[in-house]
């Protein structure tokens, strides 16, 4: 005798529909993650291309003497070289959500560790000793950079062990000091250049407008500045998340 046909109940149809919706949602989420990953990878390549292009532009303009100005003249070309990359970075963070996510996902211990390169500020003191740079610029710029460079590896090590350290006042204060050192160095150089008389034998910051020293104010200073800003952005986000 044939068994009666069982028709699916309303509950069965509801469970089936929910299962299909869940599967579709998971598939959509998976596709979104794949698209986001591809977008992030493409954006990273674009950032590397921009950094390389920026370096080439500085080298080409520097070789042509585009950053050199007469003694007693404010160093406007170098000022543009310092400020323009910072404005581009801040505008990209403000306008592009994808770039903002990339900044917030940057490896904070690594960005902190690379600040150790600033210990090379010792070179300013050496150039002062050889009469290439004035002491009014070399001493504050050199000692400030050396202080940040000397402490950077230790803070990077702490961050690697305790990521929550990024929200600490000490880490924020250190990054603010790093930014203040960069601003002070650029400002001191600008004042020195503006007050220079061009007298024979006068030691000025003019070599900073020529290669290879030009790479410091026109490339490395904005780059270090951007890394400090990235660290502060991440520190602020972490601090807000801990409060909520």
**Per-chain mean pLDDT for the chain:** 89
Of the candidates 91, 189, 185, the one whose C-alpha atom is nearest the C-alpha of residue 147 is 185
> Higher pLDDT residue, 240 or 93?
93
**What does each C-alpha distance from 232 to 84, 104, 139 come to in angstroms?**
20, 10, 27
Q: What is the rounded CA–CA span in Å between residue 142 and residue 181? A: 10
**What value, to the nearest 5°, has the Cα angle with vertex 37 and ends 114 and 31?**
165
Which pLDDT tens digit goes with each residue over 35-81? 545 567 888 999 999 999 999 999 999 999 999 999 999 999 999 99
Q: What percent of the chain has pLDDT over 70?
A: 84
Q: What is the per-residue pLDDT for 30?
A: 59
Q: What percent of the chain has pLDDT over 90?
A: 78
> Higher pLDDT residue, 244 or 111?
111
Q: Taking a C-beta distance cutoff of 8 angstroms, is the pair 215, 186 a contact?
A: no
From the centroid of its chain, how far is CA 220?
10
Q: What is the rounded CA–CA span in Å between residue 225 and residue 219? A: 10
Q: Taking a C-beta distance cutoff of 8 angstroms, is the pair 225, 182 a contact?
A: yes
Give the residue extent of every domain in the chain. 17-243
Q: Taking a C-beta distance cutoff of 8 angstroms, is the pair 68, 209 a contact?
A: yes
Most confident of 10-19, 21-30, 160-169: 160-169
What mean pLDDT is predicted for residues 151-169?
Answer: 96
Token look-up 């920026």 returns 54
């Amino acid at each position: 005798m044939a068994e009666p046909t069982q028709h699916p109940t309303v509950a069965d149809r509801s469970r089936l529909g929910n299962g299909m919706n869940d599967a579709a949602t998971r598939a959509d989420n998976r596709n979104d993650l794949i698209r986001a990953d591809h977008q992030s990878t493409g954006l990273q390549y674009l950032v590397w291309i921009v950094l390389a292009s920026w370096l080439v532009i500085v080298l080409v303009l520097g070789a042509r003497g585009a950053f050199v100005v007469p003694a007693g003249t404010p160093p406007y070309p170098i000022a543009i070289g310092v400020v323009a990359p910072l404005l581009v970075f801040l505008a990209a963070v403000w306008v592009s959500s994808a770039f903002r996510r990339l900044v917030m996902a940057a490896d904070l211990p690594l960005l902190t560790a690379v600040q150790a390169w600033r210990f090379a500020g010792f070179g300013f003191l050496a150039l002062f000793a050889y009469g290439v740079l004035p002491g009014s610029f070399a001493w504050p710029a050199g000692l400030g950079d050396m202080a940040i460079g000397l402490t950077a590896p230790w803070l990077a090590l702490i961050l690697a062990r305790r990521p929550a350290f990024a929200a600490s006042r000490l880490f924020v204060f250190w990054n603010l000091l790093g930014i203040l050192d960069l601003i002070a160095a650029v400002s001191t150089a600008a004042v020195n250049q503006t007050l220079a008389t061009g007298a024979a034998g006068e030691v000025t910051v003019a070599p900073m407008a020529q290669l290879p020293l030009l790479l410091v104010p026109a490339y490395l200073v904005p780059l270090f500045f951007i890394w400090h800003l990235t660290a502060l952005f991440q520190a602020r986000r972490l601090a807000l998340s801990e409060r909520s």
